[in-house]
Amino acid sequence: MKKKFNFLLTFMGILCVSAGAYAADLKVGFVYVGPPGDFGWTYQHDQGRKAVERAFGDRVETTFAENVPEGADAERVMTQMALSGHDMIFATSFGYMDPVINVAAKFPNVKFEHATGYRRADNVSTYSARFYEGRTVIGHIAGKMTKTNVVGYIASYPIPEVVRGINSAYLAAKAANPNVQFKIVWVFTWFDPAKEADAANALIDQGADVIMAHTDSPSPLTVAEERGVYAFGQASDMLQFGPNARLGSIIDDWDPYYIERVQAALDGTWESTDTWDGLAPGMAALGGFGDMVPFEVRAEAMALAIGIAGGRIHSFTGPINRQDGTPWLAEGETADDGTLITMNFYVEGIEGEIPQ
């Protein structure tokens, strides 16, 4: 009996040693708010992680923790990551902001990268993408493709990022089609395929024939496919979820940024920065057009995208009034980043209220 037990202990010992034998130059942890299988937000961050693995091979080891709630749990997960020898941590949700700052203060040698936040420190960088630039382009396509002149918009939470997306999509759709009308449903979730599908169905019942979504799952696109209307891929390309419905897509492409930052950490040149990149460097990218999009709409959309990427076109160029009719941007004036970052109002023409 004792002999057997000893054998078991030795066996366990061997397994433990063999598991800890291998070490890379840099250990990078990723903290995800959802599952990598959401085919949206977290999926794209996980694609970025895989791109890092491909780019650096054995030099970099990556790990991740998924479904980490924002708040106290996130702080614990990141602390344990730092304790376990991670050199760099990507925290990929806005709600990780305070936990990142707290943990970063305790581990000055660990480099933190926080997506979509605004608090920085010597070892905390922030990064986000100008998704609204992509929304200008797909907003234009939506305006051109709608027959009923009703575009349905599934919005997650009333935060500046989402409000900005609605405004930029609306302005572009309105410019493409003066009769267009937006119907907006707030679902108060980032990822709930059933709820997102309900919202899409409700919008289609109200006459929407193009669905835009600012949530993470492909279910609005799946519903559009079933109901024979149009929609877009959101966060990832999502072509496989609605081949007949998908007009185009906005893709969050974190790969280049993640590779660049990991490279900087390896080289010892990493420092705290704030990045808000758009279509130009490709952090917000556009997927291919659906077959149903006519040639001239493609050409216009491409021209818009190239103009934005080249800095000749800005998504928010005056004259633009606020929803209540008060002037916001004068003729030819473009919005400054400060206003965009805290945007909490609709532009003129959008019906309804931002939930307060």
Please give the Cα distance from 160 to 336 (Å, whole number). 14
73 counts as binding another protein under rule CB under 8 A: yes
Q: Which is nearer to another protein, 177 or 189 (CB)?
A: 189
Angstrom CA distances, 337 to 57, 180, 204, 341, 350, stand at: 37, 27, 34, 6, 22
Q: Which is nearer to another protein, 98 or 300 (CB)?
A: 98
Q: What single-letter amino acid sits at 11?
A: F
Give the shortest CB-29-to-another protein separation in angstroms: 6
Q: Which is nearer to another protein, 68 or 247 (CB)?
A: 68
Selected binder of another protein within 54, 76, 105, 206 (CB under 8 A): 76
77 counts as binding another protein under rule CB under 8 A: yes
Cβ atoms of residues 171 and 347 within 8 Å: yes
Give the shortest CB-7-to-another protein separation in angstroms: 13
Selected binder of another protein within 64, 90, 112, 232 (CB under 8 A): 64
Stretch of 91-99, 212-220, 272-280, 286-294 lying at the interface with another protein (CB under 8 A) = 91-99
Selected binder of another protein within 58, 108, 118, 292 (CB under 8 A): 118
Angstrom CA distances, 21 to 18, 24, 237, stand at: 5, 10, 39
Contacts of 208 by beta carbon, 8 Å cutoff, 6+ apart = 148, 150, 151, 152, 183, 229
Looking only at residues 133 through 192 of this chain, which bind another protein when binding is defined by CB under 8 A?
157-160, 163, 188
Q: What single-letter amino acid sits at 346?
A: Y
Stretch of 68-76, 123-131, 144-152, 206-214 lying at the interface with another protein (CB under 8 A) = 68-76
Helices (H) and strands (E) counted in the chain, each on its own, are: 11, 14
243 counts as binding another protein under rule CB under 8 A: no
Q: Which is nearer to another protein, 158 or 282 (CB)?
A: 158
81 counts as binding another protein under rule CB under 8 A: yes
Cβ atoms of residues 100 and 126 within 8 Å: no
299 counts as binding another protein under rule CB under 8 A: no
- Of 169, 170, 179, 172, whose CA–CA distance to 147 is shortest? 179
Q: Which is nearer to another protein, 188 or 243 (CB)?
A: 188
The count of other CB atoms within 10 Å of the CB of residue 282 is 16
**Tokens 């990780």 sit at which residue?**
96
131-145 helix and 160-176 helix, angle to the nearest 10 degrees: 40
Residue 271 is classified by DSSP as -
Q: Which residues bind another protein (CB under 8 A)?
A: 11-12, 15-16, 19, 29, 35, 63-73, 75-77, 79-81, 83-86, 94-95, 98, 118, 157-160, 163, 188, 341-344, 355-356
